[in-house]
Amino acid sequence: MGRKKKKQMKPWCWYCNREFEDEKILMQHQRAKHFKCHICHKKLYSGPGLAIHCVQVHKETVDAVPNSLPGRADIELEIYGMEGIPEKDLKEHERQKIADEAAEAGGGAAGPVPKKPKTDAGEGTSAQPQGQMPSPAASMAPGPVPGVPPAMQHMPGMPMMPPPMPGMMPGQHGAPGMPTHMGMPPMVPGMPPMMMGMPPRPGMPMGPMGPMGMGVPPGMVPPMHGHGMHGPGGPGGMPPSSQPHSAPPTSQPPSTSAQQMQQPPAKPLFPAAAPTTTSTTGPVGADFKPLNAPSNIGPQKLPPTTTAAPLSTSAPPNPTQTRQATVSAAPSISKPSTSGGSTGGSTKLMHPEPEDVSLEERRAQMPKYNRQMPPVSVHAPASTSAPAPMGQPHAAPPVSAHAMGPPGHGMAPPGHAPPFGGNMMPPGNMPPNMRPPMPPPMGHPGKRPSASSLTHVVRTHKGRSAGRVSHATCIPCTPCRLKGPPVYRVLPVDLRDGLYTVYSL
């Protein structure tokens, strides 16, 4: 611990508070991570440079420096390496540094957090190594400032880590104005026990934050960051990391790493992730554009909602963005485009709502085209389960067999309704409006009244009246909970009120 004191002020990145061995590397880092154009990947030389480039070349406005900490996203500031850093931030950093060291000296255990974990934490590792040489890819990682996540991830695993640990993370970012000592005092009491279990790690720079955060009770966290961090998330303090609070700790590491992976060492992880089907989020999107980053997160939220996907699809972007915005400015660049039509910002999606129903489905609903189509809608789910089992075994064969038997018969022009009556009439010959959507009805052909222009079939049970059936229950969407063989009825559709009237049998 003592030896750490020898450390001199290392160059550090104003945007993400990271330290570097060398100012050259710092510059590389900044160019790759904070000054890179998300569209053409050109590395610019400063925040304003990036903004101007994007406006002139891509006609896009960048309002925040990518991958920056909250409050450090000012694109107007001309910072390069250590030059241009606002005086007060410089001082603040210095002070914090010293405070940290002091803290470390006092509570050595705290300090270790940053470095060691990096190498330890499995997933974190992938990202970390790049830490030294900031990789552009890593820079796209939506949330976490490099170095941060691993630390966090690791914490839980640490022996003595008390729950407050996570909460402190935010503290680490050290809001510029944050007085270091604030965190310190409380920590002292809390620290001792923890230290015991943790041998000081040599290589460990006293994480800028490590110590401070430590002592801070979760509750305190929020007040410390004035940046609108999600800190309130409480113990889960990780919020800034861009992952939903709800995300189980386990899920976070992979995703984070996956996204950061992208760069060179990607191979190991990606293959692993790829075969796992749905979990491939990271590699998929994040790689090319930061835009994708948010989407990676969005999808992860989806699984729980499963079928609700349609609606949630459009929804995620927003939460995601806001979340990220607080974390790092990266995503804000893409805001204009990602927000798309859903948020109605400066863009408009030329597609009718809701966006999860295709144009064709919509169009096919039109009376002009819709002769026998069931309404395609969100209710469709039931159809899969219902018709499938019955349709295939017995009913289907005769149907299509006939349809195919007389080649050419199926080509009866629409609207030209052949005489209605034959039980085994092949579907192809049936007047469009007559044809039940499912094969089974063939068994009860006699019951099918020749209805008017538009008909829908509702499945009920013998002897049961379907009553007034709402649009939603139209075949093949009706999940039938009753037992016994289903009976099909053809119902005329009253499109005006969206209800189907039961056709008496």
Candidate segments 171-179, 194-202, 217-225, 363-371, binder of another protein by CB under 8 A: 363-371
Output 234 or 340, the one with its CB closest to another protein.
340
260 part of the interface to another protein, by CB under 8 A: no
User: In the complex with another protein, which residue's Cβ is closer, 9 or 57?
Assistant: 57
- Residue 248 CB, shortest distance to another protein, in Å, is 18
Tokens 């170095």 correspond to 147
Supply the minimum distance, in Å, between the C-beta of residue 342 and another protein: 8
Least separation, in Å, of the C-beta of 273 and another protein?
9
Pick from 358, 450, 453, 470 the residue near another protein by CB under 8 A: 358
Quote the least distance from Cβ 419 to another protein, whole Å. 16
Rounded to the nearest angstrom, the gap between the alpha carbon of residue 454 and the centroid of all alpha carbons in its chain is 42
Strands 455-461 and 486-494: antiparallel
Query: Which position among 86, 129, 163, 410 is part of the footprint of another protein (CB under 8 A)?
Result: 410
**Interface with another protein in residues 172-191 (CB under 8 A):** none
The residues in 82-141 that bind another protein, with binding defined as CB under 8 A, are 137
By CB under 8 A, residue 282 contacts another protein = yes
Helix (H) or strand (E) holding 233, with range, is: none
Tokens for 296?
A: 């990676």
Q: Cβ closer to another protein: 288 or 420?
A: 288
What is the secondary structure of 404-450 as a DSSP string?
Answer: HSSTTGGGPPTT-PPPS--TT--GGGS-GGG--SSSGGGG-GGG---
- What is the identity of the amino acid at 43? K
Nearest CB to another protein, comparing residues 235 and 310: 310
The neighbouring-strand residues paired with 456 are 491
Cα dihedral 422, 426, 432, 435 in deg (nearest 10): 70
Q: Which residue has the tokens 């113990």?
A: 235
C-alpha span between 434 and 438 (Å, rounded): 11
Instruction: State which of residues 163, 179, 249, 310 lies at the interface with another protein (CB under 8 A).
Output: 310
**Interface with another protein, residue 341, by CB under 8 A:** yes
Which of 50, 113, 191, 403 touches another protein by CB under 8 A?
Answer: 403
Per CB under 8 A, the segment of 141-149, 222-230, 234-242, 270-278 that binds another protein is: 270-278
Query: Looking at 7, 181, 363, 447, which residue binds another protein (CB under 8 A)?
Result: 363
Counting contacts by CB under 8 A, is residue 485 touching another protein?
no
- DSSP at 499: E
Which C-beta is closer to another protein: that of 396 or that of 502?
A: 396
Q: Residue 408 CB, nearest distance to another protein (Å)?
A: 5
CA 101, 105, 110, 115 torsion-angle sign? positive
Tell me the C-alpha distance between 123 and 213, whole Å.
Answer: 23
Decide: is 495 part of the binding site for another protein (CB under 8 A). Answer: no
Nearer to another protein, 105 or 364 (CB): 364
d(CA 400, CA 500): 29
Using CB under 8 A, pick the residue from 164, 183, 331, 428 that binds another protein.
428
| Comparison of 401 and 472: residue with beta carbon closer to another protein | 401
Question: How wide is the angle at C-alpha 35 spanned by C-alphas 31 and 36, nearest 5°?
Answer: 90
179-to-77, 99, 480 alpha-carbon distances in Å: 23, 10, 65
Alpha helices, H only, 15-174: 23-29, 47-53, 87-106, 115-120, 122-132, 136-140, 148-157, 164-173
- Select from 313, 324, 455, 460 the one that contacts another protein (CB under 8 A): 313
309 binds another protein (CB under 8 A): yes
The only residue of 142, 208, 387, 486 in contact with another protein, by rule CB under 8 A: 387
What are the structure tokens assigned to 152, written together? 């966090």
Decide if residue 395 touches another protein (CB under 8 A): no
CA distances in angstroms from 127 to 9, 171, 174, 241, listed in the order given: 24, 21, 22, 14
23 binds another protein (CB under 8 A): no
In the block, tokens 């310190």 appear at 184
Residue the block writes with tokens 């250590």:
82
Residue 454 CB, shortest distance to another protein, in Å, is 13
**Closer to another protein by Cβ: residue 172 or 433:** 433
